[in-house]
Structure 1
Amino acid sequence: MPTFPKTEKLCKRDFIQTLFQQANSFSCYPLKLLYVPIQAMPVPYQLLVSVPKRHFKRAVDRNCLKRRLRESYRLQKHLLPKNLPKGYALALIYIGKEKISYAKISHCAQWLFTQFANAMRKIIVFASGSGSNAERIATYFQEKRTAQVSLILSNNPQAGVLARAKRLAIPTVVFDRQAFYHSSVVLDLLKAQQPDLIVLAGFLWKVPEALTEAYPNQIVNIHPSLLPKYGGKGMYGAHVHTAVIEHAETESGISIHYVNEHYDEGNIIFQAKTDVLPTDTPDTLAEKIHLLEYEHFPKIIEQLINQTTS
């Protein structure tokens, strides 16, 4: 990400010189597209276009180009701002030396806009139930704008997560056992989406080996206990909390782990604990666990996303 003084605006000349030095950008010669802090922008545009006059035969060509590029940006506005960190704008600058045609530079700009729009890191979520964790993850990244939940898949056509996804304008796909275990339908869908990370958020089916082999260390799950305790088939939700209470445990928590071919046996990425009081019930313990999930799961996902793209 480009670095600029945070407390002052740069004059346009200094601003452009600073942009030329940034390596983290999208390039299509003779243009470079990158994002910069709005507070450093010398002009109040969401998209700054800088193409020197000397590279056009007529000033009118330059003015027309700027209008066309800004209009193109507005047409794709529903995509591009999702890829911008909060407080940032776009700068499109000319890095060539020769004169160039209106058509050539416009074509390069369109290509850059498309690349930028497609550069968002993608998270695909599998969920079977109400979807509170899925919603928390989606809203976290809608605010951060460093990644997006691009698709939610569910094995339950009545799952509450589907209504949450609709409210958040996230596409959904519902599948059955045949599609999941006895065909390549789900795997083909994932390959087409090219996710950076696959997240299980209250998903109750065992993930088939075809998926774990295709996405090693790219599928993560959250479990409502301190694994390896109270994991395995049938241990989910209230079943876990009841077992913890019945065994008089003094602490419980969450485990975020990679998914392999066995229930809850993948390498643990992160754990967080909470005390279990003598007065706790499965319901009160569940509330404590949910708070840990909402606090930590999105942050750990963000860390994993950053690792995969660094």
Structure 2
Amino acid sequence: MATVSVVSIFTRGARSSDTFEMRRARVQSDLSRATEAWGTGFFPGVRGNINFVSLNEYYISDVTIPSNTVSSVNDERVQSLILQARTVNNNATALYVVYVSGGNLSSGAVGNGGPQIINFNNTNNYGVYGQTVLSDNAADSYLLAHEAGHALFGRFTSNSSNSFTINDPSNPGNDHNNNPQNLMNGFVPASAPFINEAQATVALQSRMLLENSTIQMATVSLSASGQTASISHAPNHTLQKVPACPCCDRPKPPEESERERRINKAISKLIKEIGPDKINPKFKPPHDPFKHCKCKCNDHHH
């Protein structure tokens, strides 16, 4: 399986943030669901063969971010935490997830996210990391898997640096898929969300996958199964201090070229305009005729 590394950042008051065990359980639930949707897949979709693993988990005990004050992942407070996490993880290629407190974002969505460009040389030589913010109502759902999809879909469609898009490849011109059972529908199914062949094909070409990354990180140790082999997570793991701007004491972002700034500004606008990214709790998946089949090939509907 291809691999997406995930860095999880809990703010004070976010659901499941109270203890190390609760935080770990929420992270593992989100990663397991993401691997289900993008890895093994659901009927009547395809397998994506993408595995989500934890690179690091953090609890920011002195920062509270009410979700109803956050319009998107572009929020300055969210961006500051992502920047700090990227810095202490040596700018690792990963999906950076910030958990905030409260039911919904100010837009009514329960999550928002997408890709950002780094180390851009040309449309065939660049790096990508993913970023997302999740509210309390995103817990126990496929929202992280959905937001990861927005990041995995980031791509250039031509040799022009202005051609970057995050559109659903199976629904050109749109952020979301029209099928109510599809993972990338704007109202994410509460159960068995499938991905289609076009979505899987584009996702497997993403620079966010470790196998496709232009940044080789020795800090990520993987076993043959694709799971993290050994990563230490202290119960009170907190972000370290990072280089800050002397005038405002904010983290100093890595140097960006003018083209990188321009591309990321356009991407941030696209991400902010994504909607609704909510959960559809009433959706019922169609009957899977092979659900109770005892055949061990496990290859009927993929």
The TM-score bracket by the shorter chain reads under 0.3
Greater relative contact order, per chain length (Cα 8 Å cut-off, separation 6+): 2
TM-score by length of 1: 0.25
Q: Counting helix residues as a fraction of each chain, which structure ranks higher?
A: 1
